[in-house]
Structure 1
Amino acid sequence: MTGAFAALDFGPVWEMRSELLKGIWTMVLISVVSFALAIVGGLILAGMRQSKSRPIAWAGFLLIQVLRGIALYVLLLWMFFGLASAGGFQFEPIPAGILALSLLNSAYLAEIFRAGYEAVPPGQKEAALAVGLPRRTWFARIHLPQVTQITLPAMGNVFVDNIKDTSILSVIGVTELLRESQRWAQFYQLPFEFYTAAAVIYLAIVTLVTFGWRRLERRAGRHLDTTRQVRRSRALIFGIGARSETATAP
């Protein structure tokens, strides 16, 4: 076993670091752009689900279920190869990957936004309007900060999954990190070394994003006096035991 590990050669991995860095940059670009678009799409779908018009609400519900039910791999193949073979629009690899990730994650974010919106006690709005507070002020100063604090942890989970899902885009030729690793692993005949390097890079990026998102969560809630109800609602959204969360609340 020791002799087998001694035969490993990570030298080519270091030599190809510039190519791997290009793949990392492509991965980061796709992750950020697709997640930003998914937030917009999620807000739109959540608004449709909250609509008082039943046709619009049902349309939002059906769109969310369809997008959540399609595997990313299948969606990519359908968009990149299926549409082109049927005489439709031919996507370039990167735009196709961004669009597929955006559509998929917008459905998950829509449910997160909807749950966060409904988690805030409705009595707060009634009380604010009763004392003459404008709706816009109530939403911006009271409702939105609480919704943000409730939904940020789940949004972070979606963003982390989005980063890892970029590896699937290699199937349509996107030259992200995994694609570059595959390319040079085959060239040097060193699959263990290059795939190990790719795994370590993914782990490092996800760890950095996780710690950065935690700081964002604390910053978003620094001015809030978190109530028992908000703590309980947040716990229910993420499957955390609400009793342990609320027991320590002042």
Structure 2
Amino acid sequence: MDWSVLWSNRDLYASGLWSTVELSAAAIAACTLLGLVIAAIRTSRIPVLAQLARCYLEIFRGTPLLVQMLFIYFGAAYLGIGNISVFGAALLALTLFQGAYVAEIFRSGIEAVPRGQWEAARVLGLSRTQTFASVILPQTRAIVLPPLVGQYLSLVKDTSIAVVIGYAELLREGQAIVDRDGHPGMAYLAIAVLYFVICSPLSVVVRRMERKAVTA
């Protein structure tokens, strides 16, 4: 195996790694916020909004991420929305897709908090919004963190799908190296290792959280 191929293309690998980390970090932040909002709506007492949130979940959990990403990037022009950047399309698709799963994680955590907490807060004179922010969410956080971090792992790996719209993440840069220098086995092995480097810390966090949950 010619290891010099990896070293000579280190700049491309570094660029792809940074692009993947950048997209992952932005999508994690965006889908977490979206998921929390949708979960709050789903557990609210406003039937119309709760039904709209349910429709969103059904659509984005029931269609492939690949299709959503292609539709957002190539379909925007046909819908008269205007041009959207490759990064913007990839971020929006990942946010909407992963946000649907994150919302269900948050909803399960919110519903796992004993109903008596809501009633106790109401007796203390707290509004529903104050109760949600100050009483329910802190308890929900401990419940949802392990599955939430696991979902983030899935998101990081899903960034590779952005290659279909031309985003220069790890997989696309690896393909460029293969097209130019050959050695596909070595190139894709390096990509797999770099994905492992990104995901391994999150995997460790999940395992530690699960162990703490078992011993608690």
CA gap of 1:139–1:214, structure 2 versus 1, over 3 A, is farther
Partner in structure 2 of residue 144 of structure 1: 137
The code of the aligned residue for 1:45 comes to: I
Which of 22, 26, 40 lines up with 1:29 in the alignment?
A: 22
Offset at residue 61 of structure 1 (A): 0.5
Contact kept, 8 Å, 2:60 with 2:97, in 1: the verdict is yes
Which of 90, 98, 102 lines up with 1:109 in the alignment?
A: 102
Structure 1 Cα separation of the partners of residues 3 and 24 of structure 2: 28
1:194 aligns with 2:190: no
Partner in structure 2 of residue 179 of structure 1: 172
CA gap of 1:127–1:199, structure 2 versus 1, over 3 A, is same
State the TM-score, normalizing by the size of structure 2: 0.89
Contact kept, 8 Å, 2:69 with 2:162, in 1: the verdict is yes
The code of the aligned residue for 1:189 comes to: G
Partner in structure 2 of residue 38 of structure 1: 31
Partner in structure 2 of residue 82 of structure 1: 75
Offset at residue 194 of structure 1 (A): 0.4
Stretches of structure 1 lacking an aligned partner (at least 5 in a row): 1-7, 222-230, 232-244
Alignment of 1:227-242 (within 5 A): none
Stretches of structure 2 lacking an aligned partner (at least 5 in a row): none
| Larger RCO, structure (CA 8 Å, separation 6 or more) | 2
Offset at residue 157 of structure 1 (A): 1.1
Partner in structure 2 of residue 120 of structure 1: 113
Offset at residue 49 of structure 1 (A): 1.2
Contact kept, 8 Å, 1:128 with 1:138, in 2: the verdict is yes
CA gap of 1:86–1:137, structure 2 versus 1, over 3 A, is closer
Contact kept, 8 Å, 1:48 with 1:59, in 2: the verdict is no
Structure 2 Cα separation of the partners of residues 23 and 208 of structure 1: 19
The code of the aligned residue for 1:103 comes to: L
CA gap of 1:202–1:183, structure 2 versus 1, over 3 A, is same
Q: Number of residue pairs matched?
A: 214
Offset at residue 98 of structure 1 (A): 0.5
CA gap of 1:191–1:113, structure 2 versus 1, over 3 A, is same
Structure 1 Cα separation of the partners of residues 23 and 119 of structure 2: 42
Offset at residue 189 of structure 1 (A): 1.1
Structure 1 Cα separation of the partners of residues 158 and 85 of structure 2: 18
Name which one, 1 or 2, has greater alpha-carbon Rg. 1
Contact kept, 8 Å, 1:76 with 1:97, in 2: the verdict is yes
The code of the aligned residue for 2:103 comes to: A
Offset at residue 14 of structure 1 (A): 1.4
The code of the aligned residue for 1:203 comes to: F
Partner in structure 2 of residue 205 of structure 1: 198
Aligned-partner SS, 2:56: helix
Which of 20, 25, 31 lines up with 2:13 in the alignment?
A: 20
Identity over aligned pairs, percent? 36
Between Structure 1 and Structure 2, which shows a larger proportion of helix residues? Answer: 2
Partner in structure 2 of residue 242 of structure 1: none
